[in-house]
Amino acid sequence: MSGIKIKGTGRFVPAKAITNEYLSTIVDTNDEWITSRTGIKTRFHCTTETHTDMCVGAARQALENAGIKPEEIGACVVATFSADYLSPSAGCMLQRELGLPHDTVCFDLNAACSGFLFALHTMECLLAAAPRKYGLVLGAEMLSRFINWEDRGTCVLFGDGAGAVVVEWREDYPSIHALLGCHGDPNMLGVTGAEKPAPARIFMHGQPTFKFAVQAVPYCIDQVLERSGKTMDDVDFFVFHQANARIIDLAVRKYHIPPEKYYKNIQKYGNTSAASIPLVISELHDLGKVGPGSRILVVGFGGGLTWGGALIEFA
């Protein structure tokens, strides 16, 4: 048995908060409509900050929190589809800004809102063969650059941000028992492609996407528990992708998860896609709700369509 555990966490969000009240001045919407359907009150959008700035801020905080130096990192994976450049990758930009060793494996991974989970499992595999056994895993998105302000159903949902974890691989650590899946569908939820004459924009068909999510979440929970041989009682905290408060509430009711074992921050950040899950993990760690020995079950779902789950511990 071998696997990874979380050593440290970090996060970064832009300075500018976008409130529901502000959105009501530029879009045909209002606070009650947004809050009742999504649970979102504010979200943050970049103005002067770049995608690289967010990644660097989150990664440096995670390294400091873990007590790990950049030269100890063996791999760096950034889950994103909104980096500053098509090439170089956000991972390569982090290598430069943090001063990671030149033989550090650094790259980006695009699995939309499930990306952080795909990146965690990828890191678990990479570190098994890496000469240095610490890895940086980030979820970072600048979704504000893809918002369609003429679509009142999606423009209120998305925010920018980055979350990071430092993980350690050891032979005596348990596997994270990752469940990952996808079903190629270019029509339900995503970002329009570069072949279009218009700028790339987020699109979503709300009801089918909601139905997909409420099916994907319990499937992931059940499968991860079965793979790991654990029960609900063995999980200290449940971390869900923050796409919609109602989706989380349905899962909580289905599994009778007590309030002290789950957390929502969608009201503050909106949907930040791949950054969503690590933002939650970082906040939980800072609040003292998770720490050494804690076991968290993480569930993601989103465009692609993609879904995933994992059971990961804190070192």
Burial category of 102 from C-beta neighbours within 10 Å (exposed 0-12, middle 13-18, buried 19 and up): exposed
Assess contact for 183 and 305: CB atoms under 8 A: yes
Q: Which pLDDT value is given to residue 3?
A: 96
- Between helix 245-255 and helix 31-38 the angle, nearest 10°, is 30
Residues 242-300 have pLDDT tens digits of: 999 999 999 999 999 999 999 999 999 999 999 999 999 999 999 999 999 999 999 99
Q: Indicate whether 194 pLDDT > 80.
A: no
Domain ranges of the chain: 1-315
> Active-site residues: which are they?
113, 241, 271
Residues 197-224 have pLDDT tens digits of: 678 888 888 788 889 998 999 999 999 9
Q: Indicate whether 196 pLDDT > 70.
A: no
Residues 23-72 have pLDDT tens digits of: 999 999 999 999 999 999 999 999 999 999 999 999 999 999 999 999 99
Fold of 1-315: Peroxisomal Thiolase; Chain A, domain 1 (3.40.47)
Distances (CA, A) of 263 to 226, 249, 267: 23, 10, 11
